[in-house]
Structure 1
Amino acid sequence: MSAFIDALLPRVAHASLQSIVLAALVYALCRGMPSLSAATRSWLWWLVAAQMVLGVTCPDLFTLRLLPAPTTVHAVVIQNTGTDMPSIDVANDTTPSTLSWQTLLLSAWAIAIVVQVAFAVWRSRHLPGVLRRALPHDDARVEALCARRAHELGLRRSPRLAVSDEVSSPQVVGLWRPTILLPSDDTLSPDELDMALMHELAHVRRGDLYLGWIPAAARTLFFFHPAAWLANREYALCREAACDAMVVSRGHREPQNYGRLLLRLGVSPHPHHALPGASPTFLNLKRRLVMLGRIHETPPRAITLALVGVVTLAAALPWRVVAASETPTYVSVSVAPPAPPAPPPVPAAPALPAMPAHAMPTPPTPRAPRAPTVSSSSMNIVSVSDDAKNAFIYFGDGISVMSGKASDFSRAEAMRQGNDDFAWYRDGGKAWALRDPGYLKRIHDVYARASKQADVPQKTADRQERLDREQEALNDQMAKLSERQSDLANRNQNPGNPESAIAYAQGHATIAREQAAVGQKMGDLARERADIARELAEQNRQQGRLADSATREVNQILAEAVRNHVAVEAH
């Protein structure tokens, strides 16, 4: 749950910031280019809403790895007890499991979204009844007119016509099967009815019944963001104005006549489930009339498409500028015990050649350093930070975990009694000491299990060494082939001699075949290296999951010990 919260909160914040930039850009374009068509404006405001939705649902859809790759240094402390038992860092700083403000904030955000969705469903509860009570339109002339206009607009089939006394102006409803509802009091003239039908058909042609869900979703998810409300409002206005422009241009109507129709339809609150031709407010009606007068001032289509494309690529898509792939660096620190004083020479001191397997012989000279391997018998984790708000120190059988400030180590060591298992935990200014064997064993089992399950890529490192040797051998072969080719060219001193030319061609062909074979082997090595890189990435992800799991389990054990008063408060 904490990982989900940590991932979701940056998504919302990043999408909110990016939407401010995009909304400001679109607003400046609309104000700076008054002749911009209503259809273009609607698309631009729709992109603002789509960017907000994609920013939450698909935040890493487009990533640009432009930042330098971070280098994570894992300090692996290996106690040298005479046997080869390397250890591995499997956990980060241990922090207590508390209800953070991020959790409370996201919980309130989720509750607000659920309330909005429930309210929207409640507002739409009348739609099935309205459609069920609507009567089929029985005027064949209007049916024919609607079918003809639908064909002119490029629709494959005409929407169903129905009459209802529950609507005050023509409107289209229905997502899967659009239906145009006409008011039962037929007060529109045939010419006005024609324009009203074309307006509703334009909504179907543009796909507004589907596209309108994106601004609605953005307003629901970002109900706290002014850009979401602005995008939803401007998109709704420009959507209606785009349909007005389609009626005038495709229906060959005069803007003045259509403007009179808008005035006659007047102002009517928009239902939540339909797209009516009437305006929701007087200001909305005024802006539609102003945009209607600029229909013939639109810029060329190429400029419009280029503008929408640039805005889409530059600002609307959820770009993420991220760092390159993280390169972990392992630093092995061997802590050897103090050397005992040299004993006096005794004749019987030489080591016996036949030593038991369980004895502790002198370790052999190590090879070149590589990534540490797993050993479930010994594990030491050290993390020192002067700004650590929390600390956790544990001493167990073969396992030591020390995370916190340097002063925390001194306090914990002072409270430890002898060499018994011991845990010390600090949360802010309060600290607890844990000596209960049952709880300490549970903590030990968590780290022991994580140590056994972690898969440090020892075999992968061996494969990498083998590939390096093979690559070096292939490089030598390629260098020798280049020398042979150079010698062959130097020997071809008489190009006019047919025998010399034939020998040169045969030798050159042989070298080319050998170079191709070496190149193919190099390609195979490159593919195998890519496979190794993917395996290493998966192993790193697995280690991270094991570390998170161990941290959560230890946090739960500590919280339970404090809650049950098993852990004693340290002063």
Structure 2
Amino acid sequence: MSRIKHLVAVAGLALAAALPTHAADRGEPYALVRDGERGTSMTGDSADWSSVKRLRKQISGDFLWFRDGGKQYVVQDPTVLARARAAWEPVDKLGKEMDVYGREMDKHGKVMDALGKDMERAGAGMKPDESKIRSIERRMNDVGGKMGDVGSRMAGADEAGQARLNREMADLNRQMADLNRQMAAATQSDSQRAAQHSMDDIGRRMNDAGKPMDALGKQMDALGKRMDAESRSADKTVRALIREALDKGLARPAPQA
């Protein structure tokens, strides 16, 4: 499947007074479409994506698609396309780095899910005040599952989302620590103390498993900021190329359905 990157639109782009108002100046949608399975860099909404998918079937090779004044255009000039690809190359490279971090975060998230299940099984040995114990177990399992889910969602989150998910993870760690204390207070017998020992061990493992997730989250946050800066730069370059293509007559109306 083609990979869509929703870019941050550049506002307040300075223009010479003599230039006409083009799509690039109004922040209208565009897409840099690579042939085959090499991906698509795009702004716009689902309706625009539908147009691009249709054009991919009609146009051979790479092309730059954009809207201007309600009309759709495509550019296949080799020089324009080469400059547009070069503009997005740093973002593509950073995207691959983010994919690596995402896979690593997903791996840790699965470990956290497994530990949550271990915690649930360990809690089965707790006997006194079973209704209370079961309540704590459910909450522990729920928190453990949420920690795993947060780790998995970090892979595809933007900068703001990663910061929010890091805060969620810190809060979940505090909740798990409090639940461990509650469980300790609710257990008394030898079997209960043995079960508590097992749960404490799992709790420590959960805490240890959460540390690399926290570190990865910070790395992903820093990388996300770099991607944002590079995306803004690439977006500015492509919009300037759109103006140039229109001015030089290199853009042609997009084929109709």
Please report the TM-score for the alignment, with normalisation by the length of structure 2: 0.50
- Counterpart residue number, 1:550: 234
- Counterpart residue number, 1:395: 33
Report how far residue 95 of structure 1 moved: 6.0
Query: For residues 67-92 of structure 1, what are the alpha-carbon distances to aligned partners after superposition, in whole Å with 9 as ceiling and x for unaligned?
Result: xxxxxxxxxxx15xxxxxxx3x3342
Task: Pick the aligned partner of 2:111 from 453, 466, 472.
Answer: 466
In structure 1, C-alpha distance between the alignment counterparts of 2:209 and 2:58, rounded to whole Å: 56
CA contact (8 A) 2:32 2:64 kept: yes
Equivalent runs, 1:112-123 vs 2, <5 Å: none
Q: Which 10-residue stretch deviates more, 427-436 or 447-456? A: 427-436
**RMSD of Structure 2 on Structure 1 (CA):** 4.3
- Counterpart residue number, 2:84: 443
In structure 2, C-alpha distance between the alignment counterparts of 1:473 and 1:531, rounded to whole Å: 24
Structure 2: give runs of 5+ residues left out of the alignment.
Answer: 16-25, 131-187
Report how far residue 417 of structure 1 moved: 7.3
- Counterpart residue number, 2:207: 523
SS in 2 for 1:425: strand
Given the superposition, is the C-alpha separation of residues 472 and 515 from structure 1 closer, same or farther in structure 2, using an over 3 Å criterion? closer
Given the superposition, is the C-alpha separation of residues 466 and 546 from structure 1 closer, same or farther in structure 2, using an over 3 Å criterion? farther
In structure 1, C-alpha distance between the alignment counterparts of 2:208 and 2:229, rounded to whole Å: 32
Q: Which has the higher helix share?
A: 2
In structure 2, C-alpha distance between the alignment counterparts of 1:567 and 1:509, rounded to whole Å: 77
Given the superposition, is the C-alpha separation of residues 419 and 554 from structure 1 closer, same or farther in structure 2, using an over 3 Å criterion? same
SS in 2 for 1:394: strand
Amino acid at match of 1:92: L
In structure 1, C-alpha distance between the alignment counterparts of 2:52 and 2:206, rounded to whole Å: 57
In structure 2, C-alpha distance between the alignment counterparts of 1:412 and 1:507, rounded to whole Å: 62
Query: For residues 311-335 of structure 1, what are the alpha-carbon distances to aligned partners after superposition, in whole Å with 9 as ceiling and x for unaligned?
Result: xxxxxxxxxxxxxxxxxxxxxxxxx
Given the superposition, is the C-alpha separation of residues 557 and 390 from structure 1 closer, same or farther in structure 2, using an over 3 Å criterion? same
SS in 2 for 1:390: coil
In structure 1, C-alpha distance between the alignment counterparts of 2:28 and 2:246, rounded to whole Å: 15
Report how far residue 435 of structure 1 moved: 2.5
In structure 2, C-alpha distance between the alignment counterparts of 1:91 and 1:417, rounded to whole Å: 23
Greater relative contact order structure (CA < 8 Å, 6+ sep): 2
SS in 2 for 1:90: strand
Q: Which has the higher strand share?
A: 1
Report how far residue 436 of structure 1 moved: 1.4
SS in 2 for 1:438: helix
Query: For residues 25-84 of structure 1, what are the alpha-carbon distances to aligned partners after superposition, in whole Å with 9 as ceiling and x for unaligned?
Result: xxxxxxxxxxxxxxxxxxxxxxxxxxxxxxxxxxxxxxxxxxxxxxxxxxxxx15xxxxx
Given the superposition, is the C-alpha separation of residues 411 and 548 from structure 1 closer, same or farther in structure 2, using an over 3 Å criterion? closer
In structure 1, C-alpha distance between the alignment counterparts of 2:12 and 2:123, rounded to whole Å: 59
Amino acid at match of 2:14: L
Report how far residue 438 of structure 1 moved: 1.2
Query: For residues 321-380 of structure 1, what are the alpha-carbon distances to aligned partners after superposition, in whole Å with 9 as ceiling and x for unaligned?
Result: xxxxxxxxxxxxxxxxxxxxxxxxxxxxxxxxxxxxxxxxxxxxxxxxxxxxxxxxxxxx
Report how far residue 459 of structure 1 moved: 1.4
Query: For residues 192-247 of structure 1, what are the alpha-carbon distances to aligned partners after superposition, in whole Å with 9 as ceiling and x for unaligned?
Result: xxxxxxxxxxxxxxxxxxxxxxxxxxxxxxxxxxxxxxxxxxxxxxxxxxxxxxxx
In structure 1, C-alpha distance between the alignment counterparts of 2:27 and 2:54, rounded to whole Å: 19
Amino acid at match of 1:394: L
CA contact (8 A) 2:29 2:48 kept: no
Amino acid at match of 2:250: A
Given the superposition, is the C-alpha separation of residues 531 and 417 from structure 1 closer, same or farther in structure 2, using an over 3 Å criterion? closer
- Counterpart residue number, 2:167: none
In structure 2, C-alpha distance between the alignment counterparts of 1:509 and 1:485, rounded to whole Å: 14
Query: For residues 160-180 of structure 1, what are the alpha-carbon distances to aligned partners after superposition, in whole Å with 9 as ceiling and x for unaligned?
Result: xxxxxxxxxxxxxxxxxxxxx
CA contact (8 A) 1:432 1:567 kept: no
- Counterpart residue number, 1:46: none
Report how far residue 464 of structure 1 moved: 1.0
SS in 2 for 1:420: coil
Amino acid at match of 1:399: G
Query: For residues 113-154 of structure 1, what are the alpha-carbon distances to aligned partners after superposition, in whole Å with 9 as ceiling and x for unaligned?
Result: xxxxxxxxxxxxxxxxxxxxxxxxxxxxxxxxxxxxxxxxxx
In structure 1, C-alpha distance between the alignment counterparts of 2:76 and 2:192, rounded to whole Å: 79
**How many residues are aligned here?**
179
- Counterpart residue number, 1:453: 94
CA contact (8 A) 1:90 1:450 kept: no
In structure 2, C-alpha distance between the alignment counterparts of 1:477 and 1:440, rounded to whole Å: 59
- Counterpart residue number, 1:426: 67
SS in 1 for 2:66: strand
CA contact (8 A) 1:433 1:568 kept: yes
- Counterpart residue number, 1:13: none
In structure 2, C-alpha distance between the alignment counterparts of 1:534 and 1:418, rounded to whole Å: 42
Amino acid at match of 1:523: N
In structure 2, C-alpha distance between the alignment counterparts of 1:94 and 1:402, rounded to whole Å: 11
SS in 2 for 1:426: strand
Amino acid at match of 1:391: P
Structure 1: give runs of 5+ residues left out of the alignment.
Answer: 1-77, 80-86, 101-387, 487-503
In structure 2, C-alpha distance between the alignment counterparts of 1:549 and 1:411, rounded to whole Å: 23
